[in-house]
């Protein structure tokens, strides 16, 4: 269920409010282009600037709009274990297929703290859990040993790895059978080379069919074809992560492509004009803009 190309969906805004009509349109775009799963209100979905009520409304709307066509993995993480349990329970109540649970941020738990946090969520709410290990955003991350230990907990089924460390991924892949998903578009093929099964993708917001073509090739064992797609997607993927903090570039790109506004909530700000020219060139070179 949790393999292939899954989109880390943006949350569109209009005049400070969530633009649910555009959200529906973005979901339909993903479904029409064959995406394997939808992941709302993660990092790309700007969950830190949504109220708890808004966060829940987005999850509920995505589940309703998807209507069972593909799995919905709801972002439901927190640096408070009790709050993460509450969001996970809500996700289950409205029909999500799994939750994405990020490393607790700011409070920098020990490895035992990480274990107890994720184990408590998985044991309290009967819903599959995808761990989200992204130390660059959270101030601390898990060791491979902690993730391998968590793999023994019922309901913990996968890990989204955004560490950028191949030895770390290999350590997980060689010691347990968790499904490993890339958390960085440019790392999807390298991670697949040691056992990864797909990606929770930012760039899939604009080119879902291409990301799926690469992950389909990976899952079919056709690494020659996967490499061709990796080479095509690489510059676009890097551009959307290196020009500014995610999701600033992807929202700018979607605005240029008339898919959604580039509006964000403070402290996130739209892309600076000096960076837009580089992004436009990247989109043109990919063939997305004339």
Rounded to whole angstroms, the Cα distance separating 66 from 235 reads: 30
Query: In this structure, how many other beta carbons lie within 10 angstroms of the beta carbon of residue 66?
Result: 22
Rounded to whole angstroms, the Cα distance separating 117 from 109 reads: 9
Of 56, 92, 132, 251, which residue is the catalytic one?
132
| Continuous segment of H or E residues that includes residue 180 | strand 179-182
160 is a catalytic site residue: yes
Secondary structure class of 198 (helix, strand, coil): strand
| 4-18: burial string, b at 16+ Cβ within 10 Å, e else | bbbbbbbbbbeeeeb
Rounded to whole angstroms, the Cα distance separating 47 from 265 reads: 11
For residue 193, give Cα distances in angstroms to 74, 147, 148, 182: 27, 19, 19, 11
Q: At what angle do helices 223-242 and 208-219 cross, to 10 degrees?
A: 140
Among 147, 160, 164, 110, residue whose Cα is nearest residue 7: 160
| Tokens 């829940």 found at | 56
Q: Which two tokens stand for residue 71?
A: 């799995």
Of 160, 197, 251, 276, which residue is the catalytic one?
160
Residues with active-site annotation: 132, 160
């Amino acid at each position: 269920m949790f393999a292939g190309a899954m989109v880390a969906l943006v949350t569109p805004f209009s005049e400070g409010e969530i633009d649910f009509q555009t959200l529906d349109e973005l979901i339909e775009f993903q479904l029409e282009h064959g995406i394997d799963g939808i992941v709302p209100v993660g990092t790309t979905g700007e969950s830190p600037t949504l109220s708890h009520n808004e966060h829940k409304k987005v999850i509920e709307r995505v589940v309703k709009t998807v209507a069972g066509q593909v799995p919905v993995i709801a972002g439901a993480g927190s640096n408070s274990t009790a709050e993460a349990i509450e969001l996970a329970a809500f996700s289950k109540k409205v029909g999500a297929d799994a939750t994405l649970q990020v490393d607790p941020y700011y409070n920098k738990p020990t490895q035992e703290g990480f274990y107890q946090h994720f184990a408590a969520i998985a044991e309290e709410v009967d819903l599959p859990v995808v761990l989200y290990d992204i130390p660059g955003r959270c101030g601390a991350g898990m060791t491979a040993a902690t993730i391998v230990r968590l793999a023994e907990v019922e309901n913990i089924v996968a890990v989204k790895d955004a560490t950028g460390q191949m030895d770390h991924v290999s350590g997980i892949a060689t010691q347990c059978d968790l499904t490993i998903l890339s958390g960085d578009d440019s790392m999807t093929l390298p991670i697949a080379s040691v056992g990864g099964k797909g990606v929770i993708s930012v760039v899939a917001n604009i080119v879902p069919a291409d990301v799926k073509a690469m992950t389909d090739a990976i899952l079919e064992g056709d690494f020659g074809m996967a490499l061709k797609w990796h080479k095509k997607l690489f510059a676009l993927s890097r551009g959307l992560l290196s020009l500014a903090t995610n999701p600033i570039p992807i929202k700018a790109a979607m605005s240029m492509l008339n898919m959604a506004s580039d509006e964000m909530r403070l402290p996130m700000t739209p892309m600076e004009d000096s960076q837009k020219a580089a992004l436009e060139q990247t989109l043109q070179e990919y063939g997305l803009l004339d």
